[in-house]
Chain A
Amino acid sequence: AQSVTQPDIHITVSEGASLELRCNYSYGATPYLFWYVQSPGQGLQLLLKYFSGDTLVQGIKGFEAEFKRSQSSFNLRKPSVHWSDAAEYFCAVGRNSGYALNFGKGTSLLVTP
């Protein structure tokens, strides 16, 4: 069965510093991979997705992620974090038995001045 692991429950970074959020997946074929962001009291917003092709994908708000098949990873990065990036970040993989998503447990990002 597909699964997604986000090893870091909480991450704290200083404003302006770089960010990398880790995501590892378990999947038998080429996965569909997603990163979503959830601000407090809000629904989930898609940051970026990977279906195929170029393994480095660009998303909204200056985020990017790199698909590494050999490491079964899809880490999210941003070169310079803004205070407004503080939120919960979810990595997800599309199920091979249908069209729903399996989500990781999320990483809570805190941005300090």
Chain B
Amino acid sequence: DAGVIQSPRHEVTEMGQEVTLRCKPISGHDYLFWYRQTMMRGLELLIYFNNNVPIDDSGMPEDRFSAKMPNASFSTLKIQPSEPRDSAVYFCASSFGGKNIQYFGAGTRLSVL
């Protein structure tokens, strides 16, 4: 199994640009989670999906952030427009059955200049 795959691994962009982060969960997993990691706030949940449906997006910081899961094997997290304070490492995780182990991708390190 290839594990959770995130792309790109690194993204550098300028303030105001649109950023799209991608995630491919482990095949057969029915839950997908997006987390953000910063020095100040640690690891925070942004949103999670069950069977491609968003269940809890209360962690999405503001309307500039949006996430989609068009099918069971792909999800995107979009920031438009990006701001320097969005600089962080964004992790995607998936699990089979929500209260089971979450498997994390390697993360996308985003730098907004």
Contacts and interface: CB of A to CB of B under 8 A. Distances in A.
Contact of A100 (B33, B103, B107): B33
A49 B99 CA distance: 11
Interface stretch (B42-50, B65-73, B74-82): B42-50
A43 B106 contact: yes
A46 B93 CA distance: 12
A105 B101 contact: no
Interface string A15-39: 0000000000000000010101000
B55 A44 contact: no
A99 B105 contact: no
A105 B40 CA distance: 9
Contacts, number: 49
A49 B100 CA distance: 9
Interface residues of B, number: 22
B13 interface: no
Interface in A88-113: 90, 94, 97-106
A42 interface: yes
B35 to A, nearest CB: 8
A45 interface: yes
A100 B56 contact: yes
Contact of B43 (A32, A46, A51, A103): A103
7 contacts: A43-B106, A43-B107, A99-B31, A100-B56, A103-B42, A103-B43, A105-B42
Interface of B: 4, 31, 33, 42-43, 45, 48, 50, 55-56, 91, 93, 95, 98-99, 101-107
